Amino acid sequence: MTEQESTFDLRRARRRILLLSIVLFAMVTLVILTLIQLYGFESVREGWDVIAPAVIAIKWGGMAVLIWQWDSFVRWIAQRQRMGDDYRDYLLGMRWRVAIALVILEVLFGQNLLAYLLN
């Protein structure tokens, strides 16, 4: 095993991603709660209804760009995190699984299909 392969720690990377996700979620929640306190729920809801189509387009566009540039993105992350070739190749092979998972999550939660099915 070379020095480059031994420096990548998968557990550390997962913890960092989880921490980043928690911090991002907390920040968005704090902003939304602050807006509700300042302007009221109805105003925030009306504002969201106005920008929702743009947000949906940005989400779908971001997913398309991520899948389109998957190889470049994974190689950049692998180099930055000093991943081994085996793990990098594993991630490169995950492209379409990630794409399907993103679409399923977006359809179920982003488009409220789950809420529609449960009603």
Give the pTM: 0.74
Which residues, given as ranges, of the chain have pLDDT below 50? Answer: 1
What pLDDT does 2 receive?
53
The ranges assigned to domains in the chain are 3-118
* Non-local CB neighbours of 35 within 8 Å, separated by 6+ positions: 44
| 91 contacts 78 by C-beta, under 8 angstroms | yes
